[in-house]
A and B are shown apart, each in its own frame.
Chain A
Amino acid sequence: MTTPTQVSAVDQSLLYPSPYKEFWQAFSKNKGAVAGLLFMLLIVFCAIFAPWVAPHNPSEQYRDFLLTPPSWLEGGQIQFLLGTDELGRDLLSRLIQGSRLSLLIGLSSVVMSLIPGILLGLFAGFFPRLLGPTIMRLMDIMLALPSLLLAVAIVAILGPGLINTVIAIAIVSLPSYVRLTRAAVMGELNRDYVTAARLAGAGLPRLMFVTVLPNCMAPLIVQATLSFSSAILDAAALGFLGLGVQPPTPEWGTMLASARDYIERAWWVVSLPGLTILLSVLAINLMGDGLRDALDPKLKNAA
Chain B
Amino acid sequence: MKMLPLQAAMTAALLSVALGISAKPLVVCTEASPEGFDPVVYVTAVTADAAAETMFNRLVDFKPGTTEIRPALAKSWDISEDGLTYTFHLRDDVKFHTTDYFKPTRNLNADDVLWSFQRQLDPKHPWHDKSTTGFPYFESMGFKELLKSVEKTDDHTVVFTLTRPEAPFLADVAMPFTAIHSAEYADKLLAANKTGELNSKPIGTGPFIFTRYQKDAQVRFKANPEYFRGKPPADPLILAIAVDNNVRLQKLKANECQIALYPKPDDLPSIKADPNLKVSELAAMTTAYTAMNTTRKYMSDARVRHAINIAFDKQGYNQSLYGKGNAIDATGPYPPTLLGFNDKLQNPARDLDKARALLKEAGVPEGTEFTLFTRNGGGPTNPNPMLGAQRMQADLAQIGLKVNIKVMEWGEMLKRAKAGEHDMVSAGWAGDNGDPDNFLTPNLSCDAAKNGENYARWCNEEFQGLIDKARAVAEPAERAALYEQALDVFDKDQPWIPMAYPKMFTAMRKNVEGYTQSPLTNNNFATTQVK
A residues bordering B, Cβ < 8 Å? 59, 61, 63, 66, 86-87, 156, 159-160, 242-243, 246-248, 258, 260-265
Contacts and interface: CB of A to CB of B under 8 A. Distances in A.
Interface in B439-485: none
Contacts of B266: 261-262, 265
Nearest to A63: B316
A247 B405 contact: yes
Looking at B246, B264, B409, the one whose CB has the most chain A CB atoms below 10 A away is: B409
A20 B376 CA distance: 48
B409 A264 contact: no
Given A86-B387, A247-B386, 5 more contacts: A86-B320, A87-B320, A156-B412, A246-B405, A258-B387
Contacts of A63: 316, 320
B406 interface: yes
B386 A159 contact: no
A248 B393 contact: yes
A61 B404 CA distance: 17
Interface string B260-292: 000010110010000000000000000000000
Interface of B: 245-246, 264, 266-267, 270, 316, 320, 376-377, 384, 386-387, 389-391, 393-394, 404-409, 412
Contact of B384 (A59, A156, A261): A261
B179 to A, nearest CB: 34
Given A243-B376, A261-B246, A263-B246, A61 B391 contact: yes
A61 B246 contact: no
Nearest to B244: A260
Contact of A242 (B264, B270, B377): B377
13 contacts: A61-B390, A61-B391, A61-B394, A63-B316, A63-B320, A87-B394, A160-B407, A160-B408, A242-B409, A246-B404, A247-B393, A262-B266, A263-B246
A156 B377 CA distance: 14
Contacts of A59: 394
A87 B376 contact: no
A87 B391 contact: yes
Contacts of B390: 61, 87, 247-248
B246 A260 contact: yes
B389 A247 contact: yes
A159 B408 contact: yes
Contacts of A264: 246, 267, 270
Contacts of B320: 63, 66, 86-87
A156 B409 contact: yes
Nearest to A263: B246
Contact of A87 (B270, B387, B412): B387
B136 to A, nearest CB: 23
Looking at A63, A156, A246, A247, the one whose CB has the most chain B CB atoms below 10 A away is: A247
Contacts of B389: 247
A61 B320 CA distance: 12
A94 B301 CA distance: 37
A247 B407 contact: yes
Contact of A261 (B264, B270, B316, B391): B264
Contacts of B405: 246-248
Contacts of A261: 245-246, 264, 266, 384
A249 to B, nearest CB: 9
B354 to A, nearest CB: 21
